A and B are shown apart, each in its own frame.
Chain A
Amino acid sequence: MAIPDVTQESRPEVPVLIEGVDGPAAAPRSMRVRKWLSTTVSRLGLGLAFGWILLVVGSAVFADLLPLAEARDTSAAIDTPSLERPDLFSAHPFGTDRQGLDILGGVIYGARVSLTVGIGAVLTGLVVGGLLGVLAGFYRGRVEAVVNFATDALIAFPPLILLLALVTVMEPSVRNVTLGLAVLGIPTYIRIARANTLVIMQREFVLEARVIGARNARILFREIVPNVLSSLVSYGFVVIAVLIVAEASLSYLGLSVQRPNPTWGNMIAAGQSSLERHPHLVLVPGLVLFLTVFALNRIGEAARSAWDPRGRS
């Protein structure tokens, strides 16, 4: 599910420099310039990614306070022109759809659904999966065998098929979709938590806690959980991105929140039939979806190389 991080790889070793001739640390100037350039560019990119996510989160939270045209109630939008082209200096900066609903407003209210589902599912998955993984890694033995088997069984279902199976039998609502996606994220979290717990169990401070006679609960919650948490959270961004895509795919297929309540996926689905004449119906929510997922992936990569010891090389 998670895509391994490769951009933060260090460069392979610099060709051997002959000491005394090249000097011990005198890298060629072009190399220094290149290094400076690449760090500057990646920092700038990370800043832009943060800015975009802040913008999306902010407008989703304060959507009700923003001066937006009607985006959800078709009867209130009855006298607004339909299929208007994007015009940044009008009442509908990103245009309107077939029913005259505002696209900008739709995108912002859609962000609410996407973020609620993504963050809610990740938090649920993090708590449940993280706890199970830590317990499996801590107690080993039978607990571990059971948890591992359950994880394998969950992973055995292809993700989208599992989701389809779940939504076949559930009402499509924000809560149910969040739960379904949380189930999707749990195995990943179990594996990460278990692997990290196994590593941390070998460390001296855990042994020391045992030696001074700490009980299991204390070791678990004071020594292990705080250490596992950082890598779990650092994976969180990437998992949010994956789950936002999954939610968008579901609502594109009409299996999540229903029209006229806007989500990015159902806006794209509603606009696809007029793709040729009115591409903005698909391109605007599509671009917002892409930028959000892209930004979350970049932030996730940075977070993993900063917080997860295994992500560092």
Chain B
Amino acid sequence: MLKALSLKLLRLAAILLLVSLGAFFLLDLVPGDPAAAVLGEGATPEQFAEVRAELGLDRPAMERYADWMGGILTGDFGRSMQPPVQEVSDVIAARLPVTLEIALLAMVMAVGVAVPLALWSAQRVGRIDDGIIGLGTSAAVSVPSFLAALLLIYAVIFNTSMVIAVLSGIFGVVAGACLCRAAWGLSRERTVAAGLPWLLSAAAAGLGAALVLTGFPDFPRQGFVRIEDGGLSENLRSVFLPALTLAIVECAVFTRILRNDLINTLGEDFVLFARAKGMPTWWVLLRHALRPSSLSLVTVAGVAFGRLIGGTVIVEVIFRVPGMGSMLIESIQSKDYPIVQAGILLIAGVYVLMNALVDISYTVIDPRLRHGHS
């Protein structure tokens, strides 16, 4: 176990080294002279020499890399090339929390919707509702995130009243269906237990419809409000649509994976035993089936979170959110190489660490994988 772990750590260190080399020497791949790209046309030779010195282009490559790496290990990421000149670490400190918030919110929404959907779908496998969920998820994974973002903007911001009507309509229909089901259950079995869950869900759906009708918030088209500036509710309102955009695809992926695992678990003997004891379906699903089925969900969610740290690029650009992704795009466009390098290093580093963490937690959770049976 210890040997396997240290091997993994060694590998991780090697890959991190490779990532840092990649991020750093990207600068040398720029066609022509990077200093010329920074300055543009009409620069004097003195300015030229100055920028070359600042980028360290007048020194040997390995020395430059050692300097850069040494700086980063002591928390010094250098300074940006374009005005306003500022410490790269300050830029990142301002941008990273924004991206983290969006990624975290997206994950919470995605898991929160995916778990009930997958439970429902797995329990009703092969039926029409399972088919609809399957079709819906496979459609959702086919929508590129920029398209999803624009569609959401078109619907929620430009056609708010339509969205309210549709949402409250859906909630209303669900509430009605649950009421009918509760009435049917009560009339058949004549016990409160037969109708209570359905009555509760009808009430929840009714409450949802009422909430949508009365308090549908006014989402901003773009921008980001920090908690210090506008309070928590303003802040959440400004990140809701970006997070929802990311959540849609992730939710579809999570639903499919969890459903797949649940179907396998539901065929196991201990589930049959629990059913034979007369446990209600929801109890069997939540207490017996969900936990052993969530292994690959945890893995995929971990990797997805690592990816989201860098993968929010497009969403941040569309909603003009000042996060890591828009920082990267802006600095690529303005040829601000120190920021590009630091951004790529940080995003890829988080991604690698997240993958390694998932990899290690996998062997901790499932003992069968400890001795390399995979």
Contacts and interface: CB of A to CB of B under 8 A. Distances in A.
A9 B138 contact: no
B182 interface: no
A277 to B, nearest CB: 9
Interface in A259-313: 265, 268, 272, 275-276, 279, 282-283, 286, 289-290, 293-294, 297-298, 301
A205 interface: no
A11 interface: yes
Interface string B223-241: 0000000000000000000
A152 B141 CA distance: 25
A12 B138 contact: no
A243 to B, nearest CB: 12
Interface residues of B, number: 57
B267 A158 contact: no
A253 B141 CA distance: 20
A116 to B, nearest CB: 18
B243 interface: no
How large, as a class, is the contact surface on chain A? 35 or more
Contact of B256 (A4, A241, A268): A4
Contacts, number: 139
Interface in A220-254: 241, 245, 248-249, 252-253
Given A12-B263, A161-B310, A249-B314, A268 B26 contact: no
Interface in A185-211: none
Given A289-B147, A293-B142, A7 B134 contact: yes
Contacts of A156: 15, 18-19, 348, 351-352, 355
Given A158-B347, A161-B347, A164-B328, A12 B146 contact: no
A297 B256 CA distance: 14
A161 B332 CA distance: 11
Interface stretch (B42-50, B84-92, B149-157, B277-285): B149-157
B144 interface: yes
- Say whether chain A's binding surface is mostly helix, strand, loop, or mixed: helix
A275 B153 contact: yes
Contacts of A164: 313, 328-329, 332, 344
A297 B306 CA distance: 24
B299 to A, nearest CB: 12
A250 B133 CA distance: 30
A157 B139 CA distance: 27
A3 interface: yes
A297 B134 CA distance: 13
Contacts of A276: 154, 158
B373 interface: no
B158 A161 contact: no
A247 B131 CA distance: 30
A152 B18 CA distance: 10
B154 A249 contact: no
Contacts of B318: 272
A165 interface: yes
Interface in B341-355: 344, 347-348, 351-352, 355
A293 B257 CA distance: 20
A13 interface: yes
Contacts of B150: 268, 272, 275, 282, 286
A286 B154 CA distance: 13
B11 A160 contact: no
Q: Which of B31, B127, B150, B158 has the most CB of A within 10 A?
A: B150
Contacts of A297: 138, 141-142
A86 to B, nearest CB: 15
Given A12-B125, A156-B18, 18 more contacts: A3-B141, A4-B257, A6-B134, A6-B257, A11-B125, A149-B14, A156-B15, A156-B352, A156-B355, A157-B351, A160-B310, A160-B314, A164-B344, A165-B26, A241-B142, A249-B146, A297-B141, A297-B142
4 residue pairs, one from A and one from B, having the closest CB atoms: A294-B142, A158-B310, A169-B29, A6-B260
23 contacts: A7-B138, A11-B125, A13-B267, A34-B127, A38-B126, A156-B19, A158-B351, A160-B314, A164-B332, A165-B26, A165-B344, A169-B26, A169-B31, A171-B31, A241-B142, A248-B146, A252-B314, A272-B150, A283-B154, A289-B147, A290-B147, A297-B142, A298-B138
